[in-house]
Amino acid sequence: METIQEQETMVSLPRIGDRAPKFKATTTQGEVNFPEDYKGKWVILFSHPADFTPVCTSEFMTFAHLESKFAKANCELIGLSIDGLYSHIAWLRTIKEKIEFKGMKNIEVKFPLIEDITMNVAKKYGMIQPGESETQAVRAVFFIDPKGIVRALIYYPLSLGRNFDELYRALIAMQTSDKFAVATPADWNPGDDVIISPAGSCNVAEERMTSKDGLTCEDWFFCTKKLDKNTILSKILKN
């Protein structure tokens, strides 16, 4: 039976702003040395409960279908479960040869899928949640930036498949914030107005409320401006 200390260690997870924990692992695409192998790139590192399960299959097919879209945004994908390498290989072959989902078929998963039988990586990232399962990783998603810093994380229970539109939206929103020094409001998508940082002084607040420089201010602390979709995507997406 696990001690309280062991359970706390198992569910500990990196926080936003932390350096992503380092690891070396065997994957379906060879050895990975993380994050060194991915310098200069965004990474979505995600876990799934088990191979040969239907929700996970639907997710992997969707990720593989969208891989090139994420790649254009300078983002690599890395999957993980605590299954072994041969199970991974057999499962991915089955997906390609037999499974059709939402019109997708003959889908080949080309991004790495980590073998993590020892749960070494899963524990470093808090992917094992004993209240949900002690033998399967939950559906964790880590967004890691080109400097190896954790920028966002999303956790889903075993029963809930991920929303891939939201994963892509979050990636583009964070890159937009970095490139243009802005924030993005609720439900933002490229082309929507963006938020500028709140005024840091009374003078700046007054200037913003009377500004004619393209700002729309509901009040001194809530100012937005236009940011063209093509301007955003030209700075973020590769040709």
Q: CA geometry: angle at 58 spanning 55 and 62, to 5°?
A: 140
Please identify which of the residues 56, 75, 202, 223 carries the catalytic annotation: 56
The first and second tokens of residue 75, run together, are 């983002």
SS (H, E, C) the chain: CCCHHHHHHHHCCCCCCCECCCEEEEEECEEEEECHHHCCCEEEEEECCCCCCHHHHHHHHHHHHHHHHHHHCCEEEEEEECCCHHHHHHHHHHHHHHCCECCECCCCCCCCEEECCCCHHHHHCCCCCCCCCCCCCCEEEEEECCCCEEEEEEEECCCCCCCHHHHHHHHHHHHHHHHHCCECCCCCCCCCCEECCCCCCHHHHHHHHHCCCCEEEEECCEEEECCCHHHHHHHHCCC
Residue 75 catalytic? no
Q: How many CB atoms are located within 10 Å of the residue 178 CB?
A: 14
139 annotated to a ligand binding site: yes
Q: Indicate the annotated binding residues.
A: 139
Supply the residues annotated as catalytic. Answer: 56
Q: Indicate the annotated binding residues for substrate.
A: 139
